[in-house]
């Protein structure tokens, strides 16, 4: 297989020890789990759930199957967070999307600069995503996952408080760059891809229970001051299959252009669904093109469809490289990165690599950057 040959992979199935322009689309599908009125006791005291004749399944109910979750995040009052953002001053707005708005703020008690995501509560989905994020981030701890500092659940307010990531999102550094922004060089791109893959590997293989991210995209990969990546926005996260099951059946949710074809068609979610989404983002990193770009000609609007013919002709691989790289990349490294993306984007989920194999390949591709850093 080209993936194994070009990257010289040798890996077992054992787990590692050391280790917004698009909108979300929703398609109803049968949910195989029964509803439950119980919520994790550590969070129920501060969250009032919307009542109704039928409640959609929540990740909180999944969590209960594995025991209670200790939520270590701090609980803030709305007054505290309003003070931190100067009453949510529009000048401090740093992001906006279907989920709500993100503000930059400074906590008065600690003088810490943070990012605050104020969820849109016009509907049950805001409550659902709030619960998913708080509980998911209480289950995990990894350098490539964003750190949840606390949350607010006063009345109808649902606000999440995160560490502030100074360089914004990967999306900000790939598309529509401001005149004063430098494009990412090749090795920084590969290092970001590797770190993002390591975050996914942790969720799939090390987190207990395993977690399927379900919304892997460039706008959800945040970058710190050194361009180290961290996955954010776990509102659609789903606990992975257990007891020998191969997939989780759920309604289809995610972002158009990033969803795996089998998940979009059947609602059957697996770890390989995340691997497909990773392939889309890796292709964005290589090409500097959006997954979906309606400003381009009809043949070029869907990134994966446009790129597939190039995958079949090695002589055209250089045409996939982002023009902003100005051909400053190792030819062999480009070819191998394209091969990795191509394997992740296979139509058949069973032919895609495990995310651990992807990490191994990207460690190799980003190795030269690490060697240069040590020399300096």
Residues in the annotated binding site for ATP: 117
DSSP letter string over 66-107? Answer: T------SEE--HHHHHHHTTTT-GGGEEEEETTEEEEEEE-
Nearest to 337 by CA among 364, 315, 356: 364
Establish whether 215 is a catalytic residue.
Answer: yes
Q: List the beta strands (DSSP E) in the chain.
A: 24-27, 74-75, 93-97, 100-106, 113-119, 148-152, 159-163, 211-212, 221-223, 229-231, 238-239, 248-249, 252-255, 268-269
DSSP state of 17: S
b/e sequence 135-165, b meaning 16+ C-beta within 10 Å: bbbbbbebebbbbbbbbbbeeebbbbbbbbb
- Of how many residues is the chain composed? 376
Which helix (H) or strand (E) segment holds residue 158: the answer is none
**Binding-site positions:** 117
Q: Please provide the distance, in angstroms rounded to a whole number, between the alpha carbons at the two ends of the chain.
A: 37
- Choosing from 215, 274, 322, 357, the catalytic residue is 215
What is the set of active-site residues?
Answer: 215
């Amino acid at each position: 297989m080209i993936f194994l040959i070009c990257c010289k992979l040798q890996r077992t199935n054992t787990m590692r020890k050391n280790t917004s322009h698009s909108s979300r689309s929703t398609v109803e599908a049968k949910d195989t789990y029964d509803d439950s009125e119980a919520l994790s006791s550590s969070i129920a005291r501060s969250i009032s759930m919307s009542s109704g004749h039928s409640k959609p399944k929540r990740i909180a109910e999944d969590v209960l199957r594995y025991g209670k979750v200790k939520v270590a995040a701090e609980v803030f009052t709305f007054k505290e967070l309003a003070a931190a953002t100067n009453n949510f001053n529009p000048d401090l707005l740093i992001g906006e999307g279907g989920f709500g708005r993100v503000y930059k703020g400074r906590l008065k008690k600690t003088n810490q600069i943070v990012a605050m995501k104020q969820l849109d509560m016009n509907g049950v989905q805001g409550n659902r995503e709030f619960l998913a994020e708080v509980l998911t981030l209480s289950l995990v701890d990894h350098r490539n996952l964003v750190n949840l500092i606390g949350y607010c659940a006063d009345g109808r307010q649902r606000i999440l408080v995160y560490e502030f990531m100074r360089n914004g999102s990967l999306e900000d550094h790939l598309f529509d760059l401001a005149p004063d922004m430098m494009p990412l060089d090749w090795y920084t791109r590969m290092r970001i891809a590797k770190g993002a893959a390591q975050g996914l590997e942790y969720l799939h293989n090390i987190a207990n229970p395993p977690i399927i991210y379900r919304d892997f995209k460039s706008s959800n990969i945040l970058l710190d001051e050194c361009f180290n990546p961290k996955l954010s926005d776990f509102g659609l996260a789903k606990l992975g299959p257990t007891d020998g099951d191969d997939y989780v059946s759920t309604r289809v949710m995610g972002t158009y252009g990033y969803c795996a074809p089998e998940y979009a068609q059947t609602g059957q979610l697996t770890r390989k669904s995340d691997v497909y989404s990773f392939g889309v983002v890796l292709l964005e990193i290589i090409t500097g093109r959006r997954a979906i770009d309606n400003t381009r000609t009809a043949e070029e609007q869907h990134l994966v469809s446009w790129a597939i013919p190039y995958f079949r002709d090695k002589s055209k691989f250089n045409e996939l490289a982002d023009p902003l790289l100005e051909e400053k990349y190792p030819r062999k490294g480009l070819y191998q990165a394209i091969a990795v993306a191509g394997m992740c984007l296979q139509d058949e989920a069973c032919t895609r690599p495990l995310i651990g194999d992807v990490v191994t390949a990207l460690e190799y591709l980003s190795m030269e950057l690490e060697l240069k850093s040590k020399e300096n």
